[in-house]
Chain A
Amino acid sequence: MAKVLELGKSIDEGVRALLRFLLESGKIKGVLTLTKISRDDDVAYSLITNSELVEDTVPLYPLMPSNTAKLLTRLTLLEPMTEPIAAVVKPCELRGFIELIKLNQGSLENILFISSTCGGVYSLKTAEKGNVGEKLPQYWESIKKMEVPPDVRPTCKGCKYFLPYSADITVDLIGKEYNGKKCEILINTQKGEEFISGMEGELKEVEIPTEYIDSYRNKRLAEREKIFNEIRVEKFGLEELINIFGKCIGCHGCRTVCPICYCKLCYFDSRESDYKPINFETELERKDGMRIPPDTILYQIVRLTHISTSCVGCGMCSDICPVDIPLSIIFSMMGESVQGMFEYVPGKNVEEKMPLITFKTEEFVELEL
C-alpha cells in the first residue's frame, strides 16, 4: 500500500502548489529546481526561497541543463545543509547523487527529494534552437499514451530506471494527463510524510498497480535494444575505437558534465599525463607518427574504468560533445555489462558498497591462474 495525496489540479500546477506549501509553511528554506530565465525555453537550476517566485519554476520541464547531482554536491560538499531544502530531481540525477554520497562528495542531510517517474529529457541542442516549447504538447501526449517521446535523448529513450529510487516524494507521470485535473503525489518515506502533512488535498492509501509500469518498461527495453544495436561495442576493436573517438578534440567536456567524475584534479589534467620530449622520441622510434596530443583513446578507456561501475546513463556526456561522439550510449552499454558483472545498480541503495571497494572471497575464479 502506498500513501497518495491527491490534488484537484493539473500535475503542472500541483507540483508548484506543493513547493509553495513547503516554502510558505516554513518547513523548507529553499527549493532547488528548474526555473525559467527569460524566454520560455531557457531554464536553469536555481535555489529559490521566496514562494512568490515559485510561479517561474518549471519543476518537471523535460530538460537537464546540468545534472543536479553535481549541483547538490556543490551545495553539500563541505558541510550538510543547515536548513532543510527540497530538491526536484530526475531519477538519474538522484541516482547520481547517491553515488556521489558514497564517494563522500556530499550529504543527504536536510534535503527533501521530490522526484517523478521520468519520460526523458530533450537534448540541450533542442533547447538551443528554442524547440522545447513547441515539443512540449507532443511530449506530454506521448507520456499520457505511455509511449516513449520522440526526439528525447537517445539514452532517455532506452532508460530502464525511470522510477526514482530513494525519493521522499514521487509524482507519477506515466500514463497521466499532465494538464488535466488530477495530480497524484506519492509519499514514499516517513520524512516525506512529515513534510507534506498539513497540505490541502485528499490523502489516500492505495494499491499502486505495477502492470502499466512493466509494460512501459518493456517499451523502453525494446527501444534500448534498438539503440544499442546501432552501436555494437562488441564489434569495436581498436580500429572502430579509433574511428569513433578519433575525432575527439580533447575538450574533456564529457568529464566536466559527468555527475560521477568528481575529482578536483583529473589525472588527465595533471603533470602525470604530460610528456617529456624523450617520451615522444621513444614512442616515435617504433612508430611512423603520433597523434598530438596523444592518449585520446586512453582517456576514454580510463574514464570507463573510473565511472562504468557508477554510470547512471543520464546522457549529459553525449549531449555536450561538440563532435557528436555517442558517448552516453557507449558508456551505458559498458556500464550495463560492468554493473551486471558486479550485480550492482548505481544509486539504488546508499548503504550498498560500490563494487570496487568491496569483494567476495569466492568470485571471478575463472580469471585467475
Chain B
Amino acid sequence: MEEKFEPQMVGFLCRWCSYQAADLAGTSRMKYQPNIVFTRVMCSSRVDPIFVIKAFFHGADGVIIAGCHPGDCHYQEGNYYARRRFALINKIFEKLNLEPERLRLAWISASEGPKFAKVTQDFVNDIRKIGPNRTRKEIFL
C-alpha cells in the first residue's frame, strides 16, 4: 500500500528577523502547513553547511535557511556570509545533481509575518510536488 507522502522538513530561522516573523505570523493567526520543523539560531550565518547536509542525508525533504534582509543583519554582515555559504552548498548540490531545489534561502524581516507564511506554504507545496527525499529509504549512505 502506498503511504501518503507528508513532507518532513527542517528550517533555520535567525533570532532577530525570521523567527520574529514566525511569531508574528502565529499571533496574527495566519495559516501555513506545519511540515517544517524550525530551529532558532542567533544568526543565519550560524548555520554551518554541515547542518544542512546532515539534515538532507538523514531524510529531510527540504531545508530552508531564513534571516534578515541584506543590510539589516543584527550583526551587520552575518547574512552576507550565510548567503555565500548557501551559494556553496547550492553549487555542490547542483553540480552533483543532488536536487538543489530541496534547499532554500529566504530573507524575512520581523514585520513580514505574511511573507513568512507564504514562503513556508510555497516551499511545502513545492516539496509535495517533488516527492520524498530518496535518502529517507536509502540504506548505503
Judge whether B97 and A235 touch: CB under 8 Å: yes
Which B residues lie within 8 Å of A301 (CB)? 53, 57, 92, 96
Judge whether B96 and A286 touch: CB under 8 Å: no
Query: Contact mask A252-283 → B, CB, 8 Å, 1/0?
Result: 00000000000000010000000000000001
A358 vs B83: C-alpha distance when bound (angstroms) = 11
Judge whether A369 and B85 touch: CB under 8 Å: no
A242 vs B139: C-alpha distance when bound (angstroms) = 10
Judge whether B96 and A367 touch: CB under 8 Å: no
Minimum CB–CB distance from B8 to chain A (whole Å) comes to: 9
A234 vs B91: C-alpha distance when bound (angstroms) = 11
Name the residue among B50, B107, B135, B141 with the largest chain A CB count within 10 angstroms: B141
Is A295 part of the contact surface with B, judged by Cβ < 8 Å? yes
Which A residues lie within 8 Å of B96 (CB)? 233, 236-237, 241, 301, 334
Is B2 part of the contact surface with A, judged by Cβ < 8 Å? no
Within 8 A of B (CB), among A222-263: 233-238, 240-242, 246
Within 8 A of B (CB), among A297-339: 297-298, 301-302, 304-305, 308-309, 333-334, 337-338
> Which among B9-17, B26-34, B35-43, B98-106 touches the partner chain?
B98-106
Is A198 part of the contact surface with B, judged by Cβ < 8 Å? no
Is B134 part of the contact surface with A, judged by Cβ < 8 Å? yes
Is A290 part of the contact surface with B, judged by Cβ < 8 Å? yes
Which B residues lie within 8 Å of A288 (CB)? 137, 139
A237, A283, A342, A357: the one within 8 Å of B98 (CB): A237
Name the residue among A267, A333, A337, A359 with the largest chain B CB count within 10 angstroms: A359
In the complex, besides A298-B141, A338-B95, 12 extra interface pairs with C-beta distance below 8 angstroms are A235-B97, A236-B96, A237-B97, A238-B98, A241-B96, A267-B50, A286-B137, A290-B139, A305-B50, A308-B88, A356-B81, A367-B105
Q: Could you tell me which A residues sit within 8 Å of B by CB distance?
A: 233-238, 240-242, 246, 267, 283, 286-291, 294-298, 301-302, 304-305, 308-309, 333-334, 337-338, 341-342, 355-361, 363-364, 367-369
